[in-house]
Amino acid sequence: MQAHAVTIGLMSGTSLDGVDGVLTDFNNIHHAAYIPFPEPLQEVLMRLQTASENELHHEALAANQIAQLYAACVHALLADARLEKNQITAIGAHGQTIRHRPELGYTRQINNPALLAELTGIDVVADFRSRDIAAGGQGAPLVPAFHQAVFSSKDKTRVIANIGGISNITILRTDGTVLGFDTGPGNMLMDAWIKEHQARTYDAEGKWAASGSVHAALLESLKDEAFLKLAPPKSTGRDLFNRTWLATKLAQHEVRAVDVQATLAAYTAQTLCDAIKQHAPDAAEIVVCGGGARNTHLMGLIHHLSGIAVTDTGSLGIPASEVEATAFAWLAKQFCLKLPGNLPAVTGAQGLRILGALYPA
């Protein structure tokens, strides 16, 4: 493999909004593309988060559709970069997580990497989580190894906060040690609530949340969750933090809809900041990526609660919306080089492992 081989990373996260794609050689080539999910696919993916009738059939059809959208993203990247398919070493395709139960020894990402290889004519590396879980790890978060490779500082402890549907942090210490884990919900509860009450897919800049007031009793009820008390390594998803979970908390309180949104924003910020205070008390800055970086209100809450400078990864050279897709391009590169992609200190795996499975073109 060439020193600056070009790989593509494809990521569709727990927000269920679409496909982020990045084409990069980790040197001087970097192109990004985004393909939104059509609403019917979003609805199917949401239903597949829990047991439903004929779910294997619906999952297989959704996997084919996701592969087609992934392929469209790849073609958009190739056109933008003016490259041919034979100039790409591999595609790293994460797939769409619908179940994540590492405590039971499995994780499930919807994907059809064989179809993606057929549609693009490029080698595809997929199924990144399974090997880490097989080695006794959580299989998540996977991005801290990439964060270490590109965002570390020898001068200060830096926290990378990835706020997608779920929030996770990577603590990059000056001595080279790394800790990373999920801290709780990111955007997904806020997204679900505003869709239910205002028919919008997300709270732009957090303006609706900012117009409400935090309901202290509800916030304390939300914080009364066993996952938050677990020591890392740990990871979570919609299997825990979902609309049903929220309904059980809301049943104990009378709260205006706008104040629920304000409280959910405070919950995301509080759980993230509590984790930083506990595990990185010497942190000098918090650098945010993912959709949460666009939520001005949330960014302000994190700064206020932590008392630490807050910026986004654009200040370190990678736009906040492109970090996760770039991470899967990096994981594809690691696979091709036969190098590990996990960090046992983060996931709890028994050792370093090469992550992924190859689907040759």
Which domains are seen in the chain, by residue range? 6-140+322-359 (3.30.420.40), 143-316 (3.30.420.40)
Radius of gyration of the chain from its Cα atoms, rounded to whole angstroms: 19
Q: What is the C-alpha to C-alpha distance for residues 312 and 149, in angstroms, rounded to an integer?
A: 17
Structure-block tokens of residue 274? 């509590």
One pLDDT digit (tens) per residue for the chain, 361 residues: 655 799 999 999 878 889 999 999 999 899 999 999 999 999 999 899 888 899 999 999 999 999 999 999 999 999 999 999 999 999 999 999 999 999 999 999 999 999 999 999 999 999 999 999 999 999 999 999 999 999 999 999 999 999 999 999 999 999 999 999 999 999 999 999 999 999 999 999 999 999 999 999 999 999 999 999 999 999 999 999 999 999 999 999 999 999 999 999 999 999 999 999 999 999 999 999 999 999 999 999 999 999 999 999 999 999 999 999 999 999 999 999 999 999 999 999 999 999 999 999 9
ω into 38 cis (within 30 of 0): no
Q: Terminus-to-terminus CA distance in the chain, angstroms?
A: 16
Kind of pairing, strands 88-93 and 6-11? parallel
Specify whether the CB–CB gap between 310 and 273 falls below 8 A: no
Specify the residue for token string 């009378």. 254
* Amino acid code (one letter) for 229: K
How many other C-beta atoms can be found within 10 angstroms of the C-beta atom of residue 304? 11
Specify the residue for token string 């994190």. 302
* Amino acid code (one letter) for 231: A
pTM of the model: 0.94
ω into 141 cis (within 30 of 0): yes
DSSP 18: E
DSSP 348: -
Q: What is the C-alpha to C-alpha distance for residues 175 and 75, in angstroms, rounded to an integer?
A: 41
DSSP codes, 95-152: -EEEEEEGGGTEEEEE--HHHHHHHH-S-EEE--SHHHHHTTS-----HHHHHHHHH-
Residue closest to 34 by CA, chosen among 18, 23, 45: 18
Q: What are the angstrom distances between the C-alpha of 234 and each of 127, 141, 169, 227, 337?
A: 19, 8, 11, 8, 28
* Amino acid code (one letter) for 172: L
Q: What is the C-alpha to C-alpha distance for residues 17 and 164, in angstroms, rounded to an integer?
A: 11
DSSP 290: S
Q: What is the C-alpha to C-alpha distance for residues 192 and 292, in angstroms, rounded to an integer?
A: 15
